[in-house]
Amino acid sequence: MNQTERLAALGLSRGDRVRFRRLDTQRWKEAVITGLERDGSIGLADTKGAARAIAVELIEVRVAGPRGGVTWVPLAEWIRRSEQLRLL
């Protein structure tokens, strides 16, 4: 299974917009998904182009809300939703 297929299994794709923060006291930083790392973390590129490997628990996915506004969903929740939708 290649990178694209593994990301698709999580309900993600390269270029998806996300945000992350390492500590609760830090501000959110926006980034885009670049791939999946060997250790299970998500590969990101931040707005300055720096590569990051961030744990799933520290990432939120950008989604369109019911009226078109931006909503952020924790990645762990997003993955569970994606898996559940495929089962039905």
CATH number of the domain that 7 lies in? 2.30.30
Q: What is the pLDDT of residue 5?
A: 84
Instruction: Please state the domain count of the chain.
Output: 1
Q: What is the mean pLDDT of residues 27-39?
A: 93
Does 30 have pLDDT greater than 80? Answer: yes
Q: Is the pLDDT of residue 61 over 90?
A: yes
Following DSSP, what letter does each residue of the chain receive, concatenated?
--HHHHHHHTT--TT-EEEE-SSTTSPPEEEEEEEE-TTSPEEEEETT--EEEE-GGGEEEEEE-TTS-EEEEEHHHHHHHHHHHHH-
Residue 58, domain extent: 3-87
The share of the chain scoring above pLDDT 70, in percent, equals 92
Identify the pLDDT of residue 64: 85
Tell whether the model's pLDDT for residue 3 goes beyond 90. no
